Amino acid sequence: MLPAFSAWADYPRDANRKCEIRLANKGFGPAIIEDTLVYYDGRRKEGFQFKSVEMAIEDAFGDYLERCYRVATGERGHAIGVDEVIPLAGFIVKPELLKLGDKAFGDKLKPMTVTIKYRDIYRRQWVFIVRNFVGFTFRVNSPAYYFWHRWMFRRYLK
């Protein structure tokens, strides 16, 4: 059993200004959430997962944000099954942001980092970090690989 996460964002379009950030388990076996940490511009957003994600979206889009209409609530102990997709956030941006282009939208999300600590059914612990649109997965108990990643991502593991 090896859960493996994937994360992506749906960009807004003229006909539909709704955006979603999604998380999916693309591995083999369920992932049982231990902790979810959300950062924006290197600063951790405190509170329950849904509140920290919402605060990061508000920080990212500021005046360009019309409203958040969905925020994830999966907390400690929540199991994400194989091929299950969780919407971390759903929000609508103002038309002014669309005029700035896709790069402007991406630049707003780039400083956001999400860390998900989870375990598989054999109680092996894993960490999935999405930073600068790139996802990294590593096993906590795997010494050489883990220490390198722990040092590299130390700010996003607290």
CB atoms within 10 A of CB 21: 24
Q: Which amino acid is at 13?
A: R
Q: Is 20 helix (H, G, I), strand (E, B) or coil?
A: strand
- For residue 132, how many C-alpha atoms fall within 13 Å in the half-sphere facing its CB? 2
How does pLDDT run along the chain (158 residues), one tens digit per residue?
688 899 988 889 888 999 999 999 999 999 999 998 999 999 999 887 788 899 999 999 999 999 999 988 667 888 999 999 998 899 999 999 999 988 999 999 999 999 999 999 999 999 999 988 888 888 887 666 566 666 667 666 66
Residue 134 burial class via C-beta count within 10 angstroms: exposed 0-12, middle 13-18, buried 19 and up: exposed
Q: What is the pLDDT of residue 3?
A: 86
pTM, 2 dp: 0.84
Tokens representing 30 are 């369920």
- What separation, in Å, do the N-terminal and C-terminal C-alpha atoms of the chain show? 26
In this predicted structure, what is the pLDDT of residue 137?
Answer: 85
